[in-house]
Amino acid sequence: MSVAAIVAEYNPFHKGHAYQLEKTKQAGFEQVVAVMSGNFVQRAEPALMNKHARAKAAVKNGVDLVIELPTPWATAGAMFFARGAIHLLGSLGFVDTISFGSESGDTKLVKKAARAVDCASVNSGLIGELMAQGNSFARARALVVESLFGPQIAQVLASPNDNLALEYVRAAETLGLHFDFLATKRKGAGHDQAGIFEGFASASQIRQNVALGESIEALLPAASYEVFKEEFENFRASADYKKLEAAVLYALRSKTAADIAKVPDISEGIENRIHFAASQAVSLEDLFEKAKAKRYSHARIRRIVLHAFLGIEASQTEGLPPYIRILAIGDGGKSLLKQAAQSAKLPLVMRAADVKGLDEKSKALFALESRATDIYNISLPKILPSGSDYRAEIFVS
């Protein structure tokens, strides 16, 4: 039995995701597993709907099993995001292929770019020189890749989905996992692109429509829209980062620069810049604007701020996720779980009680995840009480 896996946020599950899933199954894969971000996503903000609702939408649209990418990796930069996700998929013991959305639709090109990045990383002296000139790490690396391998390879680094995919390839090689890879060329709207193209809208456009009070029914598969409608009508969607604004500013102002220095992705004294910006900022966007610089991207600043707010420290992302948490089970998911019971290299967590028998690292991660969920619940239209991560049940289709 052939099994493919998709790394996703499904924020929300839209027609582009349904198209990728369809193409993956058409390629001959009988079952598909998704490893999906929790309640906070890589954009360093709360997801539109909670993870259990998004997992439910995924299985209602044909995904067979959804597992969780824990918050420290789900909210990290591309390399650590990919490493956490690929580690979990490898740990299941039955995934054959990683399927990914792609601007180029060219798996071989993405693999070439992965090798080029590894070579560019070896040339770290060149990257350092360019960063000393004020370039961000990502920009400096892209310039080195272009100088060594040409514009076609460099374009992969400039394409959000392809750039993330090359990190999947690199993560698999680093972890000694022998996956095949399958690129599905994006159809319609590009990543974060505004507007609707061929009936397809990007996730960011859909979230923008929700924020403006505009209908998104035509932009989602019917089953996905029904999940969103239920969440929205029960005041569980959509989450709004602005509802956490005062809490974030309070948390950052309560920390010293040394405290901020403990979170992931800190270097070159960036903690001092963020600490000062927090003392002067009067809103989240003001904080991000005051802290960013040419060599510090807006995305990096957002991630550092969120990690500081959630209490995520670098030591928690130095390793790899220690357990596999199941969020939802689709039509083929029960057979996959039976297989995982025999093949999985990590403990399977079906309910909060399963964590009690695990090691201290696992317990600490689950506690952090629960706290992040409690904070997420404050960002909803109607604030929910704490402890929902301990009470949540797996959705079974």
Over the stretch 275-332, which tens digit does the pLDDT of each residue have?
999 999 999 999 999 998 877 888 999 999 999 999 999 987 778 999 999 999 999 9
Domain boundary residue among 123, 158, 193?
158
Band (pLDDT 50/70/90 cuts) for residue 1 is low
In a domain, 391, yes or no: yes
Do 186 and 270 reside in the same domain of the chain? no
The stretch 380-388 carries a mean pLDDT of: 96
Query: For the chain, what's the residue count?
Result: 397
Classify each residue of 330-368 as buried b or exposed e, where b means 16 or more C-beta atoms within 10 Å of its C-beta. bebbeebbebbeeebebbbbeebebbeebeeebeebbeb
Do 114 and 96 reside in the same domain of the chain? no
Cross-strand bridge partners of residue 200: 197
Do 229 and 340 reside in the same domain of the chain? yes
Do 14 and 97 reside in the same domain of the chain? yes
Judging by beta carbons within 10 Å of its beta carbon (0-12, 13-18, 19+), is residue 241 exposed, middle or buried?
middle
Do 140 and 281 reside in the same domain of the chain? no
What pLDDT score was predicted for residue 188? 73
In a domain, 86, yes or no: yes
| Predicted confidence (pLDDT) per residue in 178-204, tens digit | 999 999 998 876 676 777 877 889 999
In a domain, 302, yes or no: yes
Do 99 and 224 reside in the same domain of the chain? yes
Do 36 and 140 reside in the same domain of the chain? no
Asked if residue 351 has pLDDT above 80, the reply is yes
Do 361 and 268 reside in the same domain of the chain? no
Number of domains observed in the structure of the chain: 3
Do 231 and 267 reside in the same domain of the chain? no
For the chain, the first-to-last Cα distance in angstroms comes to: 21
Do 282 and 230 reside in the same domain of the chain? no
Tokens of 312: 């995520």
Do 336 and 256 reside in the same domain of the chain? no
- What range defines the domain where residue 189 resides? 3-103+181-235+320-396
In a domain, 283, yes or no: yes
CA dihedral of residues 131, 133, 136, 137 (deg, nearest 10): -20
Asked if residue 122 has pLDDT above 70, the reply is no
Do 84 and 191 reside in the same domain of the chain? yes
In a domain, 167, yes or no: no
Q: Tell me the C-alpha distance between 379 and 213, whole Å.
A: 17
